Amino acid sequence: LGQKISNALTLINNAETIDEKVLDACLKEITTALLQADVNVKLVMNLRTNVKTRANNADKGAGLNKRKIIEKAVVDELSSMLSSGSATDEKQLVDLKKGKPNVVMFVGLQGAGKTTTCTKYGAFYKKKGFKPALVCADTFRAGAFDQLKQNATKMQIPFYGSYTETDPAVIAAKGVDEFKKASHDLIIVDTSGRHKQEESLFEEMRQVATQTKPDLIIFVMDGSIGQAAHDQAKAFRDTVEVGAVIMTKMDGHAKGGGALSAVAATQSPIIFIGTGEHMDEFERFEAKAFVGRLLGRGDWRGFVDKIQEAVPDDESKDELMDTLSKGNFTMRILYEQLANVQKMGSVGQIMSMIPGLSNSGIFDKGKEKESAARIKKFMTMMDSMTNKELDSPDPKLWQQESRIMRIARGAGVHPNYVGELIGEYMRIRTMIVGSGKGKGKQNMLQQMG
């Protein structure tokens, strides 16, 4: 879906002039893609009308500006589709009330990440001063209780479960009751998964819900499932009153194309995303950054924030934002970012945020060691560059073969490697500042607001 919308936007970027015809062609592709993903017709028509209105209101003469306006309008509309899936907005769902027992039930297919996410969710609120507790109502999968126990112990969250009782609704009721008595204000109920939409297991889910009367039911969905998202989400929503969605496995290549469908099918917003197997790999859902990633535009702000965590230096962060917003992306910036990535260790997560890097030759998902070695090699080559080469934003510099030969000699590598580095640099550069031919010069920061 992201790819299709991205392609549609390319029509706008490649057009000489943006007239009604070009805009209509672009919007037709976008609406078709959304409708195919089962996004509600009314929402899709709204998007079309709103984008059109904004485009028509834009100054007719300003071609470049109009491109930006249209693209921004599409991003905005998609973001609002994602964050206002229902009457209850995302923020309200995340801001749990203190001082009352909030019962939250997790549902989703087996392997979606419920048990992992339950604990992450509990830990998130524990940090905010809540008293969370976990109840294991999964008697279907062998070892389910042990898994929850292990996670809960790690995060020091009290838990409840049973090795002998076979009725999940009974366990759930007992657990919730006990934790209410112990005045826990967040009681999380983990349920058993389903291999597919099986009636018997849906019945079990209904019973657990009846017994525990949850304040919120969260549907957990694997972020990489794409097209299947709609039917799956709808099946759960038709059984119990799903109120929010969490998408897991958003680390790596998963772009979350199923997100819009899941939101549409459940009429519920996405509130968090899971970005890894570790307990701290869990984030609030940010619609705009998400749409940016979905459309392959990267998330510079998120990336810069990550850097900030590792390198607590406000000045360097501001400087970077400033430089990027002026459309400068030099070798030196690439060097510094690679150095930061190296310092931080967790290469995968960081790289997936950088526009262009996640699918580049620099970083290969699942091959973190190789990627780290590659980063090192690239940096060695950059160490042989002159200041001019590091700081000049002029891509013509790299057309001179003598430079490439000199750098290769200095770094003790084959010139092909230098060529590869320059190729990657140019590719990322194009993504960030555009081709520099006067059109399509896109500025990440402005677009992503």
Integer Cα distance of 272 and 93 in angstroms: 11
User: CB 192 → ligand GDP: shortest distance, Å?
Assistant: 8
Per partner kind, with CB cut-offs from 5 to 8 A, the member of Mg ion, ligand GDP, none near residue 384 is none
User: CB 280 → Mg ion: shortest distance, Å?
Assistant: 19
Beta carbon nearer to ligand GDP, 274 or 298 = 274
Per partner kind, with CB cut-offs from 5 to 8 A, the member of Mg ion, ligand GDP, none near residue 116 is ligand GDP
Which 101-140 positions form the footprint of Mg ion (CB under 5 A)?
114-115
Q: Does residue 185 contact residue 103 with C-beta atoms inside 8 Å?
A: no
Per partner kind, with CB cut-offs from 5 to 8 A, the member of ligand GDP, Mg ion, none near residue 256 is none
Could you tell me the CA-to-CA distances from 152 to 204, 275, 336, 378 in Å, in that order? Answer: 24, 19, 38, 42
Beta carbon nearer to ligand GDP, 115 or 268 = 115
Q: Which residue is nearest to ligand GDP (CB)?
A: 274
Beta carbon nearer to Mg ion, 130 or 140 = 140
Spell out, one character per residue from 2 to 41, where the chain touches Mg ion: x when CB under 5 A holds, - when not. ----------------------------------------
Determine the angle formed by the axes of helices 287-294 and 2-14, rounding to 10 degrees: 80
User: CB 213 → ligand GDP: shortest distance, Å?
Assistant: 22
User: CB 350 → ligand GDP: shortest distance, Å?
Assistant: 15
Find the Cα–Cα–Cα–Cα dihedral 414, 419, 424, 425, rounded to 10°: 110
Question: What is the identity of the amino acid at 362?
Answer: I
User: CB 349 → ligand GDP: shortest distance, Å?
Assistant: 10
Binding flag, residue 191, Mg ion (CB under 5 A): no
Residues in contact with Mg ion, counted by CB under 5 A, come to a total of 2
User: Residue numbers of the site for ligand GDP (CB under 6 A)?
Assistant: 108, 110-116, 193, 248-249, 251, 274-277
Per partner kind, with CB cut-offs from 5 to 8 A, the member of ligand GDP, Mg ion, none near residue 110 is ligand GDP
Per partner kind, with CB cut-offs from 5 to 8 A, the member of Mg ion, ligand GDP, none near residue 112 is ligand GDP
Beta carbon nearer to ligand GDP, 31 or 116 = 116
User: CB 103 → ligand GDP: shortest distance, Å?
Assistant: 18
Beta carbon nearer to ligand GDP, 55 or 218 = 218
**Contacts to Mg ion by CB under 5 A:** 114-115
